[in-house]
Amino acid sequence: MRSSTLVGTERRTKEHGGDVAGFYVVESELGTFATNLDTLGKTVPTAKSYNTEHIDVGFFDTGVILAGAAPTVDRVRTAIDAVLAKLGDITSVSASHMRETAATYRAADDATDRQIRAIDSGIPPVDHDERPGR
């Protein structure tokens, strides 16, 4: 997964409205992050399969001496399965929330754009792709 900037700040020059700090969210990066979470979530079944197939200590593998370790390994495998299941749940829910957050920011930006145009009809509409960070 690549690193991305989800939010940012900018300073405007005197020619562009003075020395004003700005804050923005890059909606497309929220979507990219959601996609990365989806990708991570899709790897959980493979990890669980690996856990089931390869984390095992049985009598035939270790002989009588280490056979007592088998119950501990079973508990570890069960704990890993639980963690992987939770990871799958978290990534799914987080991806959904990232998409909802992106949509909320986009709607707020669009509403602000409409308000500004209503106040001063001399300002052209702002397309999402024209704003900083898009």
**Residue whose C-alpha is closest to residue 10's, from 30, 31, 26, 24:** 24
pLDDT digit string, tens, across residues 79-106: 999 999 999 999 999 999 999 998 998 8
Helix (H) or strand (E) run with residue 10 in it = strand 7-11
Residues β-bridged to residue 21: 11
Tell me, what's the pLDDT at 72?
A: 82
Q: How far apart are CA 4 and CA 52, in angstroms?
A: 34
Tell me, what's the pLDDT at 12?
A: 45
H helices of 43-69, in order, are 44-54, 59-66
Q: Is 90 exceeded by the pLDDT of residue 111?
A: no
Assigned token pair, 61: 């593998």
Assigned token pair, 65: 């001496």
Mean pLDDT of the residues in the chain: 76
| Other CB atoms within 10 A of residue 49 CB | 11
CA atoms within 13 A on the CB side of 37: 19
Q: Rounded mean pLDDT of 39-68?
A: 78
The CA R_g of the chain, rounded to the nearest whole Å, is 25
